[in-house]
Amino acid sequence: MEESLALLRAGKVNELRRRAKEALKKNKMDPEAWFMLGMAAQHEGQRSHAIECFEHALYAKPEPKYYRAKASVHMEGFEFEQAVEELQEALDLKEDVDSLFLLSICMLFLDSPDATRYMHRAHELNEKRTKELLRDFFLRFFKNDQGISDKEKKRLWAKISS
């Protein structure tokens, strides 16, 4: 997965897609190839195709990261109920910090009081990873938000960086 993410960060979506298709020629049931193809589709905004690819990966091998990937596509489309379903499937397989964190974010958007419980559980499992996810979330969604004062941004950053 890290190699796939590195290719996406470098803007090499076509290379990622090419590798995925090569792998699928050898094995139509290769879950990692479907996962890579889904990541490429998601990166290009092809949400329906990305979901389809992640479903192929899940059919071949149910794994939490494939459920999280599918949930992330739903989250991008503000389909938080569907994302919650996918994340609960991931957590049924294995409790992990990333799924708990994303579930907490979905619950925030759904105005659910359970958001805090899931964030606390993620923090209990791995404080360092939870803070890393919080910092990444802040940098992606709040850092450049003009609707949040600089004072509030500094307060939030101090809280998640401690």
Instruction: Examine residue 26 and state whether it is found in any structural domain, yes or no.
Output: yes
- Single out the residue of 30, 44, 107 nearest to residue 71, CA to CA: 107
How many other C-beta atoms are found inside a 10 Å radius of the C-beta of residue 103?
Answer: 28
- Single out the residue of 20, 103, 87 nearest to residue 56, CA to CA: 20
What whole-number distance in Å separates Cα of residue 41 and Cα of residue 53?
Answer: 8
**Angular region, 111: left φ>0, alpha ψ -120 to 50, beta rest:** left
Instruction: Examine residue 85 and state whether it is found in any structural domain, yes or no.
Output: no
Instruction: Examine residue 156 and state whether it is found in any structural domain, yes or no.
Output: no
What whole-number distance in Å separates Cα of residue 35 and Cα of residue 87?
Answer: 16
pTM: 0.87
CATH, residue 44: 1.25.40.10
Q: What is the pLDDT of residue 1?
A: 53
- Single out the residue of 6, 41, 44, 48 nearest to residue 20, CA to CA: 41
Instruction: Examine residue 1 and state whether it is found in any structural domain, yes or no.
Output: yes
- Single out the residue of 64, 10, 72, 63 nearest to residue 39, CA to CA: 72
Kindly report, residue by residue over 2-60, the tens digit of the pLDDT: 777 777 778 888 989 999 999 999 999 999 999 999 999 999 999 999 999 999 999 99
Instruction: Examine residue 102 and state whether it is found in any structural domain, yes or no.
Output: no
What whole-number distance in Å separates Cα of residue 80 and Cα of residue 13?
Answer: 27
Instruction: Examine residue 104 and state whether it is found in any structural domain, yes or no.
Output: no
How many domains does the structure of the chain reveal? 1
Residue range of the domain that includes 24: 1-61
DSSP 3-state of 94: coil
Kindly report, residue by residue over 78-136, the tens digit of the pLDDT: 999 999 999 999 999 999 999 999 999 999 999 999 999 999 999 999 999 999 999 98
What whole-number distance in Å separates Cα of residue 35 and Cα of residue 4?
Answer: 9
How many other C-beta atoms are found inside a 10 Å radius of the C-beta of residue 89?
Answer: 18
Instruction: Examine residue 97 and state whether it is found in any structural domain, yes or no.
Output: no
